Amino acid sequence: MSAVHLPDYTGGSIVNLMQSIATACGSSKRQYAPLAALSATQLARARHIVLLVIDGLGQRTLARHTASPHLRRHLLGSMTSVFPSTTASAITAFLTGLAPAQHGLTGWHMHMEEIDQTLSILPLTPRMGPPKFLPGDLPPRLFDHGSLFQNLDRESWVVAPRSIVDSAFNAWHSRAAQTRAYRTLPEMFACLNELLQDQTTSRYVYAYYPDLDSLSHRYGTDSQQARQTLTAIDTLVGGLLRDLRGSNTWILLTADHGFIDSPNRRVIQLDDHPQLAALLMRPLCGERRLAYCYVAAEARPAFENYVRRHLARAAHLYASHKLIAAGWFGPPPYHPRLASRIGDYTLVMKDNWTIKDWLPGEKQFAMLGVHGGVSASEMRVPLVGMLV
């Protein structure tokens, strides 16, 4: 059985990296320790700081991909993601500088008691039933956190895909930053090159690239498609290093999470466990690797008994409140709705198991590459850094 690999919020996680960056860019907030491997003092000397987040580039993926000479040459080490190790929680940490304990976003599917609806949190669309609000009306109702850029004493930019740059989620989390949209990977690097050539204004640039994640989900982490994309990223990083030489720019590259492959034989379909499904008050929330279960008080003994008898090979069963107390989501203070967003129980999947339910009308699809769990492959991400 794979070991549980938890976030290191004391100085070794992406949250600590964001503390180092924020302090280097003039923020006076000191909510977390700086990243032990890269201090704010080191970063602050540079004219520009760029953080390039490659969705899904785990430390294991980079270590196995030898055709990444630039990334491997400038590897400073590795960090942990946050818990859960998934885009909704980790990208929000990059954009706010907060751990999930504070920003309160705990997975792809979240039940939001404020509107009594389960949402796919990044597009802000309901999992079932008609929307009660337009996506653009939801951020002020659901998010009480600011963006990191609002705290910085430095001109800030967000470079993101054209398909999402103006989404309600991104617009809320990009407040106080200027935005640039791109369509292709080379176009993203062209945007970075242009923004970082400025000789008079100090800038912090956050850039996000999603395609390695989507390809890894569909084809697997070691697929030709994923490898080709990583090679293309590495080549363009090499070009950016050459173009920016002498510009006094820190180029940082990391990821929101890593990946693990889960073949069909390792998928627990909730349809195959009708007795368990009948004990749930609402559909599963969270992720395939990390399911939040809402169970009425009178059904909890039966729920615990069923999981232990039938799913013990595949899942750890936790009372969700114990994960908060143990610091998995981050240190206190806690978001006031954190407990309501993680259900009564959490199923943390073992090895490479996943769990999935499908609602009537949902389009079913297989997903070979997955994340959100607590394996080292999912939790550890690289930190690539170079001052040019």
Domain count, the chain: 2
CATH at residue 184: 3.40.720.10
pLDDT value at position 2?
61
CATH at residue 340: 3.30.1360.180
Residue bearing the bigger pLDDT, 378 or 66: 378
pLDDT value at position 361?
84
Co-location of 200 and 158 in the same domain: yes
In the structure encoding, which two tokens stand for residue 81, read together? 């993601």
Within 10 angstroms of residue 191's Cβ, the number of other Cβ atoms is 18
Co-location of 130 and 71 in the same domain: yes
Q: Does the residue 107 lie in any domain?
A: yes
Over range 172-196, report the average pLDDT.
Answer: 97
Q: Find out whether 50 and 177 touch, Cβ atoms under 8 Å.
A: no
Co-location of 219 and 84 in the same domain: yes
Q: Does the residue 303 lie in any domain?
A: yes
Co-location of 247 and 165 in the same domain: yes
Q: Does the residue 9 lie in any domain?
A: no
User: Quick one: pLDDT band at residue 159, thresholds 50, 70, 90?
Assistant: very high
Q: Does the residue 352 lie in any domain?
A: yes
**Structural domain harbouring 120:** 14-260+374-387
Mean residue pLDDT of the chain comes to: 96
Q: Does the residue 3 lie in any domain?
A: no
Co-location of 355 and 336 in the same domain: yes
Co-location of 104 and 130 in the same domain: yes
pTM value?
0.96
Positive or negative, the CA dihedral 78, 84, 85, 86 is negative
Co-location of 47 and 112 in the same domain: yes
Co-location of 239 and 274 in the same domain: no
Co-location of 87 and 197 in the same domain: yes
Q: Say if residue 225 is exposed, middle or buried (CB neighbours under 10 Å; 0-12, 13-18, 19+).
A: middle
Per-residue pLDDT of 84-126, as tens digits, reads: 999 999 999 999 999 999 999 999 999 999 999 999 999 999 9
Q: DSSP assignment, residue 124?
A: T
